[in-house]
Chain A
Amino acid sequence: MTADPVVATAPVTFERLEHDVCGTPTVVLAAGEPAAPPLVFLHGAGTFHGWAFAAPWIEQFRVLIPHHPGYGESGDLEGLQDPHDLVLHYVELFDQLGLTSDVNLVGFSLGGLVAARFAIEQKHRLRRLVLVAPAGLRVPGVEVEDLFHIPPEELVGRLVHRMETILPYLPADPRDVDFNVDRYREMRTTAIMLWEHPFDRVLPRWLGRVDIPALIVWGEEDRLAPPALAPGWAELLPQSTVATFPAAGHLVLDESPEASAAVARFCGEPS
């Protein structure tokens, strides 16, 4: 398959849906035919790098990208404590969106952790699960640098293999107040959930329940969550395969059109 970087950066026009999820104003970006099979994407701890990678999914799927509470355009979740609050938030949002079965759930990084936790409790709603460089699993023998340990000025560079992937999404002035305030808010929300327990207590004990087809996607140059974590996830997920992509960092979907295409292909495979 030939790589066509234009595909991954093509603009996507999303419809902006607003939901009230038990008191939390929640924004959902939607694109694709409403009647197409649903693909829900759960984003990572930052929403600034856009959604261009979802462009190739729109032909086949109804793509739904909710902003987590405390991130992007969604409001804060009052009383938020840990990722389970997000699981419950999405149980309610899925109900509101009529997503009761045959959902393809794709979670990236922090969103991968939330997707995995969601799948443990709500696998009956899911058809396929894709975890893209998911966070939160402690794999013995694999060193993972704590997210909060990385100075913010280094963090952006650590997200990508090629800086040009992310440059279009950064403000001209690194001290841009609105940009930094938005990032602070997202890191604050992440800290509420993960500061004390960056590794999830539930995954190792319960992930084995998720016996639907699962794909684990990793960028081979991921310098935030090393690809060496992938086998740890695969071992816990009974029906999983691992796909790694060269010349791609943590934002593997943004950097590798093949990765984005692989997600679409996997979710489009017949059961």
Chain B
Amino acid sequence: MGLVDQAEFHFFHFFPYTELPPDHGERESLWVDFPNTNYDPEVGHRLYNRYLSEMVLADRLGYDGLVINEHHNTQYSMNPAPNLTAAALVPQTTSWISVFGTPPNLGYPNRLAEEYAMLDVMSGGRLRVAFPLGTGMEYWANAVNPATARARFRESIDIILHCWTDDGPQSYTGDFYTYRYLNPWPRPVQKPHPECYIVGTGSPETIELAAELGFGYSVVFIPRVAQLKVFDHYRERLAHHGHEPTPDKVAFGVFAYVAESDAKAEEEFLPHIMYFFQNNLRTTPRYLNPPGYVTVPEFRKRIQAPDVHGTANWDDLVAINRIVAGTPEKVADAIGGWIEESGANRLTLNLTIGDMPNWKVVKNTTLFAEEVIPRLRGRAARSDGAGTRSATSATSATEVVA
């Protein structure tokens, strides 16, 4: 079994709120200060039900897992509390549920450790998590200081690991949190704890943290070529800290659309991916970089880098992201190539994006499951009749530990 055969395919859904007012184009940012009077709960109700049904469909089609994430004050995501969505998915699904995830420093870390443990126990050990620092926008929306966010982030993760791995009661005295009795019930099913990733944009501090903790690394929003360097650096640091740099340690995202022909795929996909980059992601440099959110040297780098939030054209997007639209052969070839070039085989698939209508999501998700994954997994996986789920996720959850 090779790198590609063992790849895992996870269905990622951003839960966007897509019914924007006709004059939304006049707004510089659709995050942070985009008025919530534009949110209609009736529409929200309909979209939640639709999106949950799309997640359940992906589960039925045999995807290895389902992925959700968290954002605040935005039409980009209707998941400010993704654990609620995960809880709604638990009884309807059998695959992995990845909460990728809640910034652990935005609330109380013991509470997040409890919520994740609840999900792990309720799902019988099907939870995976990623710890993001959260975008700069989250710090305008929450009462947490962006200038101390990174230190708080580290401490929060430390507390969550104590919650999961130490026998309670313990006490914890940190710079940000003091616990006199750290003794959360329940504890996770998976031992020592659910598999964890850190979400990063390639900054050396974040890579070092993931490597030190032996966590996976999930990369977002940096150019594809730069990603490869980041992966190498991460694997080198992972090995340095005594952890095996296996291909599943790196997760990367793919935007894909499958149709009968390349032309049809592009025609059906393009409006929605452009909608995603032009609208869902539209925000200001100020909201992206609140004071102190990044270190001073990192800020220097960022203000000289191209902006991917809401202004990019198609060529920039394709250079930065892994985007493919076409026949099953074309999509499988592209993704197979990306797996090979990156040496990484945990994929988070954006098969639904922006304002894509349900029929396209169903079509794309079905075709990808039935025509692309089997091509990538090879003939054996296609003919065994057991669906497309990978071998790793068929093992007992307790064997799959970080």
Q: A181-B296, A181-B299, A196-B143 are in contact. Are A191 and B290 (CB under 8 A)?
A: yes
CB distance from B310 to the nearest CB of A (A): 16
A181 with B300: CB separation less than 8 A: yes
CB distance from A191 to the nearest CB of B (A): 4
Chain A residue numbers with a CB within 8 Å of B43 are none
A191 to B304, alpha carbons, bound, how many Å? 23
Known contacts A177-B303, A191-B291; decide if A185 and B148 are in contact (CB<8 Å): no
A19 within 8 A of B: no
Contact pick for A185, options B146, B296, B303, B304, CB 8 Å:
B296
Cα(A214)–Cα(B178), bound, Å: 41
- Binary B-proximity of A117-139 (CB < 8 A = 1, otherwise 0): 00000000000000000000000
Q: How far is the CA of A181 from the CA of B289 in the complex (A)?
A: 12
Interface string of A175-197 (1 = CB under 8 A from B): 10100110011011111100110
Main DSSP-derived SS at the A contact region: helix
Chain B residues whose CB sits within 8 angstroms of the CB of A196 once the complex forms? 143, 145
Would you call A48 an interface residue if the criterion is a C-beta within 8 Å of the partner chain's C-beta atoms? no
A187 surroundings in chain B (CB, below 8 A): 291-292
- Return chain A residues, CB-CB under 8 Å to B304: 177
Interchain nearest-CB distance for A33 vs B (Å): 37
How large, as a class, is the contact surface on chain B? 10 to 19
Q: In the bound complex, how far is the Cα of B350 from the Cα of A153, in angstroms?
A: 35
- Decide yes or no whether A148 CB sits under 8 A from chain B: yes
From DSSP, what is the main secondary structure of chain B's interface residues?
Answer: loop
Q: Which residues of A contact B289 (CB under 8 A)?
A: 184
| CB proximity of A145 to chain B, nearest CB, Å | 14
Contacting B145 at CB < 8 Å: which of A184, A185, A192? A192
Kindly state whether residue B147 has any CB partner on chain A within 8 Å. Answer: yes
Q: Are A191 and B292 in contact (CB under 8 A)?
A: yes
- Taking the closest CB of chain A, its distance from the CB of B296, in whole angstroms, is 5
| B292 / chain A contacts, CB cutoff of 8 Å | 187-188, 191-192, 195
Assess whether A195 is in contact with B286, with CB atoms less than 8 Å apart.
no
State whether A190 and B303 are in contact (beta carbons under 8 Å apart), knowing that A181-B296, A184-B296 are contacts in the complex: no
A177–B303 Cα distance when bound, in Å, is 7
Contact yes or no, A180 B148, CB < 8 A? no
Determine whether A152 belongs to the interface, using a CB cutoff of 8 Å to chain B: yes
User: For chain B residues 257-277, which have a beta carbon within 8 Å of chain A?
Assistant: none
Q: Is the CB of B300 within 8 A of A191?
A: no
Task: Give chain A's interface residues, CB within 8 Å of chain B.
Answer: 148, 151-152, 175, 177, 180-181, 184-185, 187-192, 195-196
The 8 nearest A-B residue pairs measured at CB: A191-B291, A188-B292, A191-B147, A187-B291, A195-B145, A192-B147, A191-B292, A184-B299
